[in-house]
Structures are given as C-alpha cells and as structure tokens.
Structure 1
Amino acid sequence: ATGVNADGHREVLGVKVATSETKQAWNAFFADLVARGLTGTLLVTSDAHAGLVEAIAANLPGATWQRCRTHYAANLMQVCPKSAWPAVKTMLHSVYDQVDTEAVHAQFDKLLDSVGPSLPKVAAHLDDARADLLAFTGFPQPIWRQI
C-alpha cells in the first residue's frame, strides 16, 4: 500500500504477501496498518474486489473509496468489442482530464451518450461504475493528479 501525505508525496505504508485476495487477508492487512498508526485516511483507491472494498470500509471508517481507473479499464475492455475499444478508451480518459467536477460529470455524460446507442452493454457498465470512478471529484482539484 502506498499513500500520499499532506505534502503531496507518496510513501510506502506497508507490504504483505498473502496467498489469496480474500476479505480475511485484506482485513488483516488493513488492521495491521491501523495498528501501526495509520490514521486520517481520506481516500483509498483500489480494484473492486468485494473482499477488498469491504475490508477498506471495515478498517478505515470514513474513508472514501475510489475505483482504480486502470483496473476498471481492464474490466470495461472485457465487455467492449475490440474494434470499439480505442475510441471508448480515449473517451474514458478524457473524463479524467477535465478541469473541475462539473466538467468531469458532463464529459462522463457525453461518454454515455456516445456509446449508449451502439454499445449498450458498455454504457450500462460505465453507468454502474460512475460513482466509484468519479469519487475523486469530491476532493480538491489540485490533488486530483495524486489521486
């Protein structure tokens, strides 16, 4: 796990080897971080494994969860036809490049409008993930780069 401190610098918070990505393994990992003094966690970015998300909520109460956009893109690619992927990927990346929260949400709406008619499964996948993907907009824009 890495974190971004108040000065905007990344720090390694902890490393643990586990034989599986279960809720129990993630609970042990986060509980160890907390026991060693991790406090004030505002945001956690990770993949969407149910056990991982549940362990974050259980061990870091009050922290917002953000779905990792790289992992999400890999998940989205599985429902997107290969021929359409370059355009969908470009449009998805354009969402993250916006200057403020309103623009991010407007661009996400444009993405949904663009893919909806021809790629309804892609649009549904995106729409279902919207809150998880755009959680970063609840934080000040100057730190979006670190997020």
Structure 2
Amino acid sequence: MLRDLKHRGLSGVDRIVSDDHKGLKNAARKHCQGVRWQRCQVYYLRNIPGHAPASQRGTLAQAFSRLFCPETMEEARTVRNEILRIFGKKAPEAMECLEEGFDKALNILTFPK
C-alpha cells in the first residue's frame, strides 16, 4: 500500500499514524524512511483497560480522558505519572501497557505547532 502511494506521487509526509501492527510499521520504515511513526491514540487507549481488573476500567477511562489534553510532552508526562501513582498497585499490567506505548502515542506533542 505505501509503495503504491509513493508510486502515485505521495510526498511531503512527516508522520504516519497507525496501530501497533509490526507489518505496517516495517513497511513504513522501508517505504517512508525518515518519517516519524505515531501510535494511534484510540487503539492505544482501547488496549490498556483490557489489562486492568474490571472494577478499575471505568475509573481508568476517566483518568485517560485527561491524558491527551496537555499541550506539551512534559505536561502529558505529569498526567501519566499521576495515573501511574493512582493505579500502579490496583492495575499493574495496565500501567505497564500505559508506560510501554506512551511516548509513541503522544509523539505528536514533539512536533512544532
């Protein structure tokens, strides 16, 4: 797909947003060298609660709604650290997922405005 888009004239791409699919990420590296990849925030957020106890999922969803409001990566990390502090013992597997994908899901905050 990416190769076909390039052959049809696609240019000026500065980022690719997708889920965490290895094949798509490899294709992006191969056919769009130098383009930054960002993990899709929707898929990222949908994945995390599945690793939390059912009793914590609603509260986690409310906490995550604040995660994508900050305008800088520093502010986002502050919110993330607060979420980790609150849910670290209640939902450790979910917090591990939060940490693993955080930088790639909020990569957009590192782009100039």
Gaps of 5+ in 1: 1-28, 143-147
Q: In the alignment, does 2:75 pair up with 1:103?
A: yes
Q: In the alignment, does 2:38 pair up with 1:66?
A: yes
From 88, 91, 95, the equivalent of 1:116 is 88
Give, in angstroms, the shift of residue 101 of structure 1: 2.5
Which protein is richer in helix relative to its size? 2
Q: Could you tell me how far apart the structure 1 residues matched to 2:105 and 2:56 are? A: 21
Number of the residue aligned with 1:16: none
Q: Pick 1 or 2: higher relative contact order, CA cutoff 8 A, min separation 6.
A: 2
Q: Could you tell me how far apart the structure 1 residues matched to 2:30 and 2:64 are? A: 30
TM-score by length of 1: 0.71
Paired letter, 1:77: P
Query: Could you give the per-residue CA deviations for residues 71-113 of structure 1, whole angstroms, max 9, x where no partner exists?
Result: 1122212212222112111212211011323211211111112
Alpha carbons 2:88, 2:95 under 8 Å: kept: yes
- Spell out the pairing of 1:1-147 with structure 2 (5 A cutoff): 29-140=1-112, 142=113
CA RMSD of aligned residues (A): 1.4
Q: Could you tell me how far apart the structure 2 residues matched to 1:69 and 1:116 are? A: 21
Q: Could you tell me how far apart the structure 2 residues matched to 1:117 and 1:83 are? A: 13
Q: Percent identity?
A: 26
User: Runs ≥4 in structure 1, deviation > 2 angstroms?
Assistant: none
Aligned residues: 113
Q: Could you tell me how far apart the structure 2 residues matched to 1:42 and 1:137 are? A: 14
Q: Could you tell me how far apart the structure 2 residues matched to 1:124 and 1:101 are? A: 19
Gaps of 5+ in 2: none
